Structure 1
Amino acid sequence: MTLHIDTAQRRARLAWRHGLAGPTPPGNGPEDVAADLVALHATDPATVHLSVAARLHTPLVATVEDALYERRSLLRMLGMRRTMFVVPVGFAAVVQAGATRAVAAEQRRLLLRHLAESGVGDAAWLADVEESTYEALRRRGNATAAQLAADEPRLRSLMVFPQGNQYVTSRLLLLLAADGRIVRGRPVGTWISSQYAWSCLPDWLPEPLPELDPAHARTELARAWLARYGPGTAADLKWWSGWTMTHTRAALRALEAVEVTLDGGETGFVLPGDTDPVPDPGPWVALLPSLDPTVMGFQSRMWYLGSHAPALFDRTGNAGPTVWAGGRIVGVWAQRPTGQVAVELVEEVPAATRRAVDRAAKELEGWLGEARVTPRFRAPLEKELAESR
């Protein structure tokens, strides 16, 4: 008989495993949060810090920066779905082989096509500019994109597109990063800046990332996702990982993942030995940032999002800041120009929950201090709330 895991149990698992319920374990740091979530979304640089703060409830900008740029126990890298993530260094090789390597191959094909269509160069030209750029970065130790373009003028070659021209610079640096040769270092500016100095990966880490078999890496990536997000459907895992369905099913078979039924009639999967129910975490609330991994961990979101996607996500599926209560999204938060963290609920909640949400908003407001955070991808209700008086 197939085991059934209902929505209440899915919400309880998410609460415990994503560090959203219960006391923060003593000594937990940014690396623990990243591991609990498999990877931290980093397309918007503020998300990394806010996702950590939502779990550890303490001002941790300096601690996160120390993990990223001094101790380098966390690594910012391109990963699943060609998305920027921050991952524990010990897990980076799994992401590289299980997701990034395929992204790099596809990006190389696209760049070569665009170079040819623009009359800029061919594969030999690209290889020569890559090596020249890498050597320029090696000589400098670290450098911004503008500094590298000054050293290698061919980075300023223009590719022509209907929507506007584009320099080769960003595409080539992305390709070198996806190939595991260079890494984004400290931002140029504050912790919310999206411009970075680059470094060669061998200069950034004491040891090179081990080369893993892609099929093995995909299995380990699926194992990590199921351990933290399961039960989830094959479609959820396919979307989150960016794999084909063939690769997704192969990873699930390799894990001998256990089929379960979910509310609504879908088939989900959990790891072997992960079929026992977890306890009810009790009431909890959290204010999560835009693109938080908990929000973005699934393709099918009705069980925690309901019908609120048009107000809380942008048109391309990027989540704005969300208010959570008891395992479901109940509202949105936004920071106004004054620094106030405002909240608007989209569902009725008990008075005690509303008070807890208001306390969390005040806590976040104090945490942000003088910083002003505007999500890179604006959800309609967040934008409206931020601009209202």
Structure 2
Amino acid sequence: MTVLTDRELGRATLARQLLLEPADMPVEDAVAHLGGLQAQEPQEPFIGLWSRLRAFDPSHLSGLLTGRRVVRTHLMRRTIHLVTADDALAWRSRHDAMLRQRVLGTYRHELTGVDLEELAAAGRELLADAEPRTMSELVRGVEGRWPAAGRRALGEMLIAALVPVVQIPPRGLWRTKAGVRNVLLSAWLGREIAPPAQDGSDPVGQALVRRYLAAYGPATSADLRAWSGLAGLPAAVAAVRAELAGFRDERGRELLDLPDAPRPGPDTPAPVRFLPAFDSAILGYRYRGRIIDDAHRGLSVAGERVVLVDGRVAATWNVDRDATVTVTPLRRLTPAERSEVAEQGQALASFLSDQDSDRAEIAGFPD
């Protein structure tokens, strides 16, 4: 079985994640290809798409949100993701058990004595009129039935697990700050959520395996679970295994992939890319050594924005109120790398400021 090095896996990730070359594809298609974008920080998906799409116009993503073509909802790993409407409806039922288990894992003590089915019914009743509700408003509507339960626990269980909701605009629009207001997913989209298969099969799980490998492969089954948070996918993997190609990484782990998916050579040039907080190009794997050193792994879960240089995390970045992008290297960079980082940082500053700034500062570079 062919062994793929971390560098080869990194190049494959860049190609699948649209980070090797800017993609010429519609924004909605890019969101679908990536299996959604992590979006608990509302402006970060715009940065993620700017780094991936040629001539990305943020108004296109805002238009998809207001046009109900993409939505913000709890899904993979119980985190807010920006996904297409079709994927939200197709995937939500498959994620129900995981969402419930993860909330219980955090708030089991606070939810002792709460009948979750009754809580879900109460939440759906409160949202039945399609009027947007904040989490506080929903909690006020149910806490009288369970006065001993924690208010935060009730709210999280309602909107992150039991009741499929979306966070509606203006939350998540370009350069807009707005609080979270929730509406039933089915009411917002005018379509019902796809029910689970009744024959014991798992067509959604099998589709997720293929979609994940298209955007993240080659990868292990553990990587797939790290991305999705879902248990039970080994059966889905087994069902589609005959159509997949197999490899091993340098540590002997089995990697699965779509046979005809791109796997560029290790010497394929990889341009500098600025990634947003919690980008799935890093978080989408259990083993992240293909793109980030173990010494810096904590950055990926701490919400640090990072810079890829030669396909690996080599710096962090931030932006201040006057739209100056500041880059802090994690290793010594060559003069050519410094120049490319500065150039890309200036382009990012211009994007974030609507062309009002092209200021980029490189902090702490050695002479």
Fold conserved between structures, TM > 0.5: yes
Counterpart of 2:186? 202
Deviation for aligned residue 1:183: 1.9
Distance in 2 (alpha carbons) for counterparts of 1:126 and 1:251: 31
Name the % identity. 23
Distance in 1 (alpha carbons) for counterparts of 2:284 and 2:98: 19
Distance in 1 (alpha carbons) for counterparts of 2:171 and 2:212: 32
Counterpart of 2:236? 251
Pairs aligned (count) = 349
1:147-162 alignment to 2 at 5 Å? 147-148=137-138, 152=141, 154=143
Distance in 1 (alpha carbons) for counterparts of 2:50 and 2:18: 11
| Compared CA separation, residues 128 and 364, structure 1 to 2 (3 A) | same
Output one character per residue of 1:196-252: Cα deviation in whole Å (capped at 9) or x when no partner: 2222333311322322437221111111111221111222112222133xx232222
Counterpart of 2:331? 347
Distance in 2 (alpha carbons) for counterparts of 1:206 and 1:198: 15
Give yes or no for the alignment of 1:183 onto 2:166: yes
Give yes or no for the alignment of 1:106 onto 2:105: no
Distance in 2 (alpha carbons) for counterparts of 1:144 and 1:21: 40
Distance in 2 (alpha carbons) for counterparts of 1:189 and 1:8: 35
Deviation for aligned residue 1:153: 6.3
Deviation for aligned residue 1:187: 3.6
> What's the secondary structure of 1:45's corresponding residue?
coil
Distance in 2 (alpha carbons) for counterparts of 1:20 and 1:187: 28
1:1-389 alignment to 2 at 5 Å? 2-25=1-24, 28-56=25-53, 58=55, 60-70=57-67, 72-98=68-94, 100-106=95-101, 114=109, 117=112, 122-123=115-116, 126-127=119-120, 129-135=122-128, 137-138=129-130, 140=131, 142-148=132-138, 152=141, 154=143, 166=152, 168-177=154-163, 180=164, 182-187=165-170, 191=174, 193=177, 195-213=179-197, 215-244=202-231, 247-256=232-241, 257-274=244-261, 277-278=263-264, 281-309=268-296, 312-313=299-300, 317-369=301-353
Distance in 2 (alpha carbons) for counterparts of 1:85 and 1:172: 17
Contact 2:23 2:52 in 1 (8 A): yes
Consecutive unaligned residues in structure 2, runs of 5 or more: 356-362
Counterpart of 2:359? none
| Compared CA separation, residues 97 and 156, structure 1 to 2 (3 A) | closer
Distance in 2 (alpha carbons) for counterparts of 1:149 and 1:33: 36
| Compared CA separation, residues 254 and 319, structure 1 to 2 (3 A) | farther
Contact 1:22 1:281 in 2 (8 A): no
Contact 2:110 2:153 in 1 (8 A): no
Output one character per residue of 1:137-194: Cα deviation in whole Å (capped at 9) or x when no partner: 43x3x343455566x3637966566xxx6373343233344xx3x3221145964646
| Compared CA separation, residues 206 and 175, structure 1 to 2 (3 A) | same
- Counterpart residue type for residue 123 of structure 2: E
Distance in 1 (alpha carbons) for counterparts of 2:299 and 2:124: 43
Structure having the higher helix fraction is 1
Tell me the TM-score normalized by structure 1: 0.78
Deviation for aligned residue 1:278: 3.1
Output one character per residue of 1:7-31: Cα deviation in whole Å (capped at 9) or x when no partner: 3332222222211122431xx2321
Deviation for aligned residue 1:332: 0.8
- Counterpart residue type for residue 167 of structure 2: R
CA root-mean-square deviation: 3.2
